Amino acid sequence: MNPTKLFSPDFVLGKTFLLGRAVGGAMGLVVRRPSARSWRVARLALQVTPRYTMVAPNRLAALYDIVQQANALELVGDIVECGTWHGGSAAIMAAACRDDDWLDRRSFWLFDSFQGLPAPGEQDGMNERRRFFPGWCTGDMARVQQIMVAHGVSPDRLHIGAGWFEQTLPTAAVEQIAALHIDVDWYASVKTVLHAFYDKVVPGGFIVFDDYGQWPGCRTAVQEFLQRVGVMDQAIVRPTKSSAYVRKPTTPNRSLSSRAP
């Protein structure tokens, strides 16, 4: 059997591994930064792992902090996530808004194929193509709705886009984005999301790449795209070993609509 499939959350071994990582990671959050806030984020992480997310607690904590920064800066716009799986990381972002009394000022746009990951391409590497299997990371829309409602998001502020990004993102009625979370693994998927949504991120808004340090295709796609729109490599912030984020420049910068392909 493909070992990646064996350790996926579809199997008991994968679920056990994710639960163990979640408990250890949550304890690590509290030990490194003992505070009421750390306890709060650690509890949130354990509420969503592994049933609703595969994202490690330190990355969930970073995501929580980033959304709270967006709230503190009073950035207009919504929360958008591409690659939502069962909704756990989106729920962490909702919790950050709820804790800041911002839930009634933002909508949540969550996109996923709900059919699993697409096959990786040439830019993603031989190892990734060898490990791939159809249905890897298949999300569950019912779980997404369940966990988002549990974290206080009203149905009228929750928008779930089901289908391949090439079909769903270009027609999505998203207008302004305060925080964009990209957890889509592969080169082509990252490029598709950035092309669809970069111009909708507000000046000073946050773009978070969950897989920047894990998948080479993701990293390459991010670097190529940022160079194209004139964002320097030094702007990339690494809150964890795996994840990264940038803030969209607050001064006028290149947009996709003004650049040739």
**Residue 260: per-residue pLDDT:** 40
Mean pLDDT by 10-residue block, N- to C-terminus, for the chain (261 residues)?
Answer: 64 70 80 85 91 92 97 98 98 98 97 96 92 91 97 97 97 97 98 98 97 96 94 90 94 57 38
Domains located in the chain, CATH noted: 55-258 (3.40.50.150)
Long-range contacts of 198-202 (CB under 8 A, 24+ apart): 198/225, 198/229, 198/248, 198/255, 198/256, 199/255, 199/256, 199/257, 200/77, 200/174, 200/175, 200/176, 201/77, 201/177, 201/248, 202/75, 202/76, 202/77, 202/176, 202/177, 202/178, 202/248
**Residue 30: per-residue pLDDT:** 81
